[in-house]
Amino acid sequence: MIRPRPKPLAYKTDDALIVVGILLLFFSLFIHFLFLMLPGTFLLLLGLYPRLYLKYVSRHFDFLNERERVRLLQGEEDSFHLTFENKGKLPLYRFNVRFELDHSVTMTSIDPLRKNRYQFDLSLGKARAEAFQFEIKGLSRGVAKLKRFEVRLFDPLKIASVTRSFEFINKQMVVYPKSEPIAGLEKISLPIEGELPHQASLYHDFTSPVGTRDYLMTDPLKNVHWKASARTGQLQTKLFESAMGMHWTVLILMDRHLKKGVQEQLEKDLEYITALCLMAQKRGIAFEILVNFKPMGREEVMHVHLGLDRSHLVKALEFLAYLNVKHVKTNPLAVLRKIDRNASVSRVVFIIDHSDLDIQALSYFYQKWIRQGHQVYTLNTAGVLNPVHRGGESYVHKNSAY
């Protein structure tokens, strides 16, 4: 658990009570009018007790920054938790929590103070920790975080308060993009020899034997397992796992300059890519995603590496939720070159192109990949796949937006 970093305490008290109380005590002693001593003492205590109370409870109060990630579909509801701890022997009768929440989600159990700004009151008994649950609803694709997180502690009479501010709240609400069908996607198949286990495949992974059996006259000599044959006294043939190569590669090429309408088109593109990911996972096809956004480190492109299980699908959808047109963009050629360097495995390549690359640069890579045995498709703004053929000719659907 990562603890949030608190900022210095900010006190807000009614110092007038202390000042008036001191003045009354001073005058009662100075003019020997003891009748003023009682109200003076009362006002002084009334001014000092909130300071002492708040100093004590703030020292024993903490926000437990427990890691939590909530995954949502758009329109879906879920909840997250905020855990507070009071280690002291005095209860917290009232404290106020305030924070901002990104626009991709909204809280359904609490009305906003203003747009994306929430405020509510809680209480906490002595020597206890409690997790408070809050309902949220996914509105739009994105990753929402809690910002400007503040907790304001009050004394029981609400005379004074102290504010604690926290940074780096370890809560995330991931809202996945919607899935928009792609015309012709279900017809794409590429049953080629590869390394992915597949019982119905005609091909085998010859790099890792999974067992042996008795040798048959029809077996090739290169498949004889000589050590097993020597151990058993008769020829043994290696057994290999059936395998199939079915790799889908999604390339997103963004222009380095932000243009009007790019955000809206990116949202639509990500809905198409979500459909690709869901279809690939359903059919047991390994897939990867590349986009020319600058990640941390020396890499030039963001890359969801090849995978096909359920956890890989979740990773891909979270990646799509994270993408934003405000990210620093790199040269779109970096994406094409990265795939070109790893083109030994046959694959189906889906390309969404919003870059300013000229047709010759694109055609060079497309034609090279086709000659190497890959299938290349462009995806237009209407969600229609256009196959790229050898020689540069491409089938364009009637409803294509191009």
Say if strands 105-107 and 286-291 run parallel, antiparallel, or are unpaired: unpaired
* Superfamily of segment(s) 246-388: von Willebrand factor, type A domain (3.40.50.410)
Does 9 score more than 50 pLDDT?
Answer: no
More confident residue, 321 or 9: 321
Q: How far is CA 383 from CA 185, 266, 340, in A?
A: 10, 12, 25
Dihedrals phi, psi of 316, to nearest 5 degrees:
-65, -45
**What is the model's pLDDT at position 261?**
79
Q: What is the CA radius of gyration of the chain?
A: 33
Reference 289, options 257, 313, 264, 309; nearest CA is: 313
Query: Which 3 state secondary structure label does DSSP give 164?
Result: strand
What is the reported pLDDT for 282?
87
Give the per-residue pLDDT at 198: 44
Tokens found for residue 2: 């990562």
Give, as one character, the DSSP assignment of residue 390.
Answer: T
In a 13 Å sphere around the CA of 148, the CA atoms on its Cβ side amount to 9
* Three-class DSSP category at 173: strand
In whole angstroms, what is the distance from residue 249 CA to residue 301 CA? 14
pLDDT digits (tens, 9 = 90+) for 268-326: 999 999 999 999 888 888 999 999 999 988 889 999 999 888 999 999 999 999 998 88
Q: Percent of the chain having pLDDT more than 70?
A: 76
* pLDDT of 398 over the 50 cut: no
Give this prediction's pTM. 0.73
Q: Whole-angstrom distance between the N-terminal and C-terminal Cα of the chain? A: 51
**Residue 339 confidence (pLDDT) above 80:** yes
pLDDT tens string 350-373: 999 988 888 888 999 999 998 888
pLDDT recorded at residue 138: 95
Which residue type sits at 247? H
The whole-number average pLDDT for the span 177-192 is 76
Per-residue CA distances from 94 to 9, 59, 125, 126, 157 (Å): 17, 16, 10, 12, 10
Confidence of residue 229 (pLDDT cuts 50, 70, 90): confident
Tell me which DSSP letter residue 16 carries: H
Read off the pLDDT band of 141 (50, 70, 90). Answer: very high
Q: What pLDDT was estimated at residue 230?
A: 83
Candidates 220, 176, 212, 144; CA nearest to 315 is 176
pLDDT at 185 over 70: yes
Angstrom distance (rounded) from CA 266 to CA 290? 14
Average pLDDT, the chain: 81
Res 256 pLDDT > 80:
yes
Note the pLDDT of residue 260: 77
Tokens coding 88 = 């002291």
Q: Read off the pLDDT band of 203 (50, 70, 90).
A: very low
Which structure tokens are listed for 320?
């799509």
pLDDT for residue 45: 59
The CATH architecture of the domain made up of 61-175 is: Sandwich (2.60)
Q: For the chain, percent helix, then strand, then coil, each to nearest 5? A: 30, 40, 35
Task: Please give the Cα distance from 208 to 198 (Å, whole number).
Answer: 15
Q: How many residues does the chain have?
A: 402
User: pLDDT tens digits, residue range 153-171?
Assistant: 998 888 788 899 998 999 9
CA 240 to each of CA 197, 217, 234: distance values in angstroms, whole numbers, following the listed order: 10, 18, 19
User: Rounded to whole angstroms, how far apart are CA atoms 130 and 66?
Assistant: 12
Q: Which residues does residue 375 pair with via DSSP β-bridges, in sequence order?
A: 348
Question: From CA 46, how far away is CA 159, in angstroms rounded?
Answer: 9
Is 170:2 a contact under the CB 8 Å cutoff? yes
Average pLDDT over residues 69-89: 95
Residue 268 CA to chain centroid, in angstroms? 19
Place of tokens 């963009």: 329
Domain ranges for the chain: 13-59, 61-175, 204-244, 246-388
395, 386 contact by CB (below 8 A): yes
